[in-house]
Amino acid sequence: MECPVDGAVLADVDPLNVTDGMLDDLWTQVARLHAARLAHGALNTHHIALSRDGPAIFEFSSASVASQNDRRPADVAELLVATA
């Protein structure tokens, strides 16, 4: 997938170049997304870009507003596995 910002898709980045600060910023963005009751639906390394300004979540075609079937925990699980 083409990176929508000036940077690289996380899936293509050498894990040694991923810092704790980048991951902290990413999890802060996820928390904000979820606080707005939005679930990404496909939160993996192919939908995160790393730019000079930090990580950026993109590709929201599977996103949904949280409802009775809350998908936010699945976002957390998928991103945790993807960045482990």
DSSP state of 50: E
Using alpha carbons, list the distances in angstroms from residue 31 to 10, 35, 60. 19, 6, 16
pLDDT at 57 over 90: yes
Q: Is 35 exposed, middle or buried (0-12, 13-18, 19+ CB in 10 A)?
A: exposed
Residue 22's identity, in one-letter code, is M
| Percent residues over pLDDT 90 in the chain | 75
**pLDDT band per the 50, 70, 90 thresholds, residue 3:** confident
Q: Domain coordinates of the chain in residue numbers?
A: 7-83
CA atoms of 6 and 25, how far apart (whole Å): 17
Question: Is the full-model pTM beyond 0.85?
Answer: yes
- For domain 7-83, give the CATH superfamily: Transferase(Phosphotransferase) domain 1 (1.10.510.10)
pLDDT of residue 74: 93
80 has a pLDDT exceeding 80? yes
Judged against a pLDDT cut of 90, whether residue 1 lies above it is answered with no
Residue 13: phi and psi, rounded to 5, are -95, 135
